[in-house]
Amino acid sequence: MIIVHGIKNCDSVKKALKFLKENHIEYTFRDFKEQSVTCDEINEWLKYTSLEKIFNSKSTTYKTFNLKALNLTDQEKIEWLCRENLLIKRPVLQHNGVTIVGYNKDQYEMELL
């Protein structure tokens, strides 16, 4: 079963869920706002994808906290991800040991169909 991590009102999450529904792929949705992602989970994702893919430096949260001015180290970025899940690029899909970050139709077709 695929687990989709994100928030309901995110356009990329909506596209991902639409793709899964249109292709009759079962999934479980986990909303960051209702159930926080733990540091252990984030560190697990980082085994399969890069910090650059997960850490959303274009998010409103990033701008709100003025994180660019802090010139964060990789470890500090991970700590921020743990504290502020809205810094995680969305959606994050987990399936059979594969972690996919963001919406990419071509990658979804290759990995999920």
Our measurement of the distance from residue 111's CA atom to the centroid of its chain's CA atoms, rounded to an integer in Å, reads 16
**Confidence band, pLDDT 50/70/90 cuts, at residue 6:** very high
pTM of the model: 0.93
| Alpha-helical runs (H) found in 1-113 | 11-22, 39-45, 51-54, 60-64, 74-83, 105-112
65-103 pLDDT, tens digit each: 999 999 999 999 999 999 999 999 999 999 988 899 999
- Dist CA 49 CA 53 (whole Å): 7
CATH homologous superfamily of 2-112 = Glutaredoxin (3.40.30.10)
Give 19-36 pLDDT, tens digit per residue. 999 999 999 999 999 999
pLDDT value, residue 97: 84
| pLDDT computed for residue 41 by the predictor | 95
Through-space distance between the first and last CA atoms of the chain, rounded to whole angstroms: 13
Buried/exposed 31-45: b ≥16 CB within 10 Å, e otherwise: bbeeeebeeebbeeb
> Domain coordinates of the chain in residue numbers?
2-112
